[in-house]
Amino acid sequence: MSLFEQLKADAAQQWDAYTRHEFVLRLGGATLPQACFRHYLVQDYLFLIQFARAYALAVYKSPSMGDMRHALEGVKAILDVELELHLEMCRGWGMSREAIEAAREDTSTMAYTRFVLDAGMSGDLLDLQTALAPCILGYAEIGATLKSQATDLSDNPYRRWIEEYAGKEYQEVACGFEDWFNRTATDYLTEARYPRLLSTFERACRLESDFWQMGMNADEGSQI
């Protein structure tokens, strides 16, 4: 069993609470209030800015040129693809780049992004990858699951989001990350170290759940 598979199995409760959160289920069922999605989308844009910095930190933490190149591709994917997707969807609701980037970070956004950055700053590449994994691999699983469960997405206002994370390009990014993560584990992982990695993985899953809940708790007054 690979490291990711083992972490996912041992943190099944936290993983399921994250990937099957009410926000996710209602997004797939087209019953999520759009105010909740807009708030999530703006906060996720701010989150991704810090996530790009975490990937940049992975360049620094990388022990080989191959690792550095893989981390760099992650930075580019966020800056050139994911952030642009968010801006595209936000423009559809009349929100500008300037307004989004000037938005205040929610407490849940700060808690999660700083946790990931701290995991990388205080640890090595494997610690950082473990903190990154729930987001990258969880979104791939969520996107694929929602797409497979939908009989027709044509009337779902969140179709663009679902198709992006279910799409071939993002699925390939996630598969590449999982392979990279598991390869790193062959060099870094020890039996004594596993409990610490599991704790990091579980906490990242809980922070992902908190991020969804932040969206669920949003009201019109919190929107741009």
Query: Does the pLDDT at position 177 exceed 90?
Result: yes
Residue with tokens 């703006």: 42
Q: 90-107: per-residue pLDDT in tens?
A: 888 788 888 898 899 999
Q: DSSP state, 103?
A: S
> Please, what are the domains in the chain?
3-218 (1.20.910.10)
Residue type, 206: R
Q: DSSP state, 21?
A: -
Q: 44-60: per-residue pLDDT in tens?
A: 999 999 999 999 999 99
Phi, psi at residue 20, to the nearest 5°? Answer: -120, 30
Cα separation of 152 and 34, whole Å? 19
pLDDT for 219: 63
* Residue 200 or 85, more confident: 200
CB distance 200 to 8 below 8 Å: no
CB distance 51 to 117 below 8 Å: no
What percentage of the chain reaches a pLDDT higher than 90?
83
Tokens of 179: 């392979």
